[in-house]
Amino acid sequence: MLKNVIIAEDHLSWRGICVDLVKSSFPDVQVDVVETGSDLVRRVLEGDYSLVISDNDMEEEDAGLKALQTIRGSGNNVPLYMVSSGSSDVVRKALCYGANGFYKKENFNSDKLLEDIAQHLQ
C-alpha cells in the first residue's frame, strides 16, 4: 500500500528539511507539500494521507492550529505532527486539539520525529 505524507510549511528551508527527512528515511513514501493551512485542510479532506507534518504560523498566526481543528472536526484522524516555534500554550493547544506530537524548531530533534512517524509509514 502506497503511503502518502503531506507537509505544510511556508519557509523554504524548513520545508526542505522536512521533505528530505521523510524521503531519505522512507524512500517509498509519496510526499506532497503545501504552504498554507487552508491548502492543508483542502488537500487532507480531499486526499488519502497516511501522515501530516505541519508548521503552525504560515499565512497567518496559528494557521496550523486552525487547520488541525478543522481536520479533526471533520472526523479525520490522520496522524498529524506539528514542527513549529511556539509557546507552551501553543504546544498545549496543539495536543489538546488532537496533534499526535509537537516538535519545537528551536531544539528540533529529527531522530525523535522519525521514531514517532515511523509507526505510521512502515
Per-residue pLDDT of the chain (122 residues; tens, 9 = 90+): 689 999 999 999 999 999 999 999 999 999 999 999 999 999 999 999 999 999 999 989 999 999 999 999 999 999 999 999 988 999 999 999 999 999 999 999 999 999 999 999 98
DSSP assignment, residue 33?
A: E
Between CA 71 and CA 28 the distance in angstroms is: 25
Q: What is the pLDDT, as a whole number, of residue 1?
A: 67
Q: What is the pLDDT, as a whole number, of residue 2?
A: 81
Task: Calculate the alpha carbon distances from 114 to 33, 38, 93 in Å.
Answer: 18, 26, 22
Between CA 21 and CA 68 the distance in angstroms is: 22
Between CA 115 and CA 42 the distance in angstroms is: 27
> What domains does the chain contain, in order, with CATH numbers?
4-121 (3.40.50.2300)
For 69, how many CA atoms within 13 A lie in the half-sphere containing its CB? 10
